[in-house]
Amino acid sequence: MTFDRNAAEEKFDDFLMVMDEQLDWLSDEAKRRGIELKVGLDDLPNLEKLFDLLSDGKEKDYVSGLVVTFARYLGEIVRECYGGKWALPLDDEKNINFNSPVIVGHTSIEGLEFAPLSVMRAYALRRKPGTLQRAVSAQVNPKPVDLSGLAEE
């Protein structure tokens, strides 16, 4: 199967086009449940709570759709709080985020991509509180890995 770059770019454009509508829907759902969302870092625990409420007992396809909607919101939190923009990595098929919407330019580390879809999928699978906060923190405050103990002799 041949990869169609134009189709991927069109799908990404569609992803961006429905962003506002999806974010409004999510905010409305939150309000109905007494949760206030403001597109800020304080929203991360509330986003997990809301995801749990909306996905509880639902079919797999419905939950998959929720993951995408919540990923949009998570990406917007990172973009609004730390800068950057939505991008679609299409240049390297070996990139783990290939053809998946990411946020870039949110940190001084060039080429670092925040993948909100992957983060939300991880949360949906494990439901571990604090996952979103840890993921965002790891992106904007990365800790260098000490490889000195691995030196060859």
In a domain, 33, yes or no: yes
In a domain, 150, yes or no: no
pTM of the model: 0.90
In a domain, 144, yes or no: no
Half-sphere exposure of 107 (CA within 13 A, CB side): 16
How many domains is the chain built from? 1
Q: What are the tens digits of pLDDT across the range 90-114?
A: 999 999 999 999 999 999 888 899 9
In a domain, 9, yes or no: yes
In a domain, 101, yes or no: yes
| The total number of residues written for the chain in this structure | 153
In a domain, 146, yes or no: no
CATH code of the domain containing 38: 1.20.120.1090
Residue 74: domain span = 5-139
For residues 86 and 11, what is the distance between their CA atoms, to the nearest angstrom? 13
Residues 48 and 134: beta-carbon distance below 8 Å: no
In a domain, 152, yes or no: no
Q: What are the tens digits of pLDDT across the range 34-73?
A: 999 999 999 999 999 999 999 999 999 999 999 999 999 9
Cα 57 to the center of its chain, rounded Å: 23
